[in-house]
Amino acid sequence: MTYLWLNVVFLAAVFVFWAVAMAVHGRRARRRIASGEVTTTPRPRRRLAALFLTLAVLLVLTAIFDNVIVGLGIVGYDEAKILGVLVGVAPLEDFAYTVAAVFALPALWMLLPARAQR
């Protein structure tokens, strides 16, 4: 199995999880607004802007530190299993984990109950 296919499967699972979390969170928010528990509406555009800003910052940091660890030989990749597209000396596939974390962690936070509800 190549790193590309591993990433495709992994990212597909993360994006499904993220979509489910967004749907559940939206339903919970509408229910809380209808009951009068809260008066503000969710701002999905603002949330997406924050998500993509976070993604941009973390991708830059990933590029820097992946190049260091790959360049120093701490981590290596089988050239037969990568696409061959490199960012510096780091393979493009290595950035999938950053993308997955940026989508999966907020999704998890949206599904967990708030502290007041525990």
How far is residue 22's CA from residue 110's CA, in Å, rounded to a whole number? 8
Give me the residue label for tokens 């950035």: 95
Q: Would you call 58 exposed, middle or buried from its count of C-beta atoms within 10 A (0-12, 13-18, 19+)?
A: middle
| Domain range summary for the chain, segments of one domain joined by + | 3-117
Residue 102 structure tokens: 């940026």
Dihedral of CA 59/62/66/67: which sign?
Answer: positive
Per-residue pLDDT for 117 more than 60?
no
Mean pLDDT of 52-72: 97
Mean pLDDT of 21-42: 83
Q: What is the pLDDT of residue 92?
A: 94
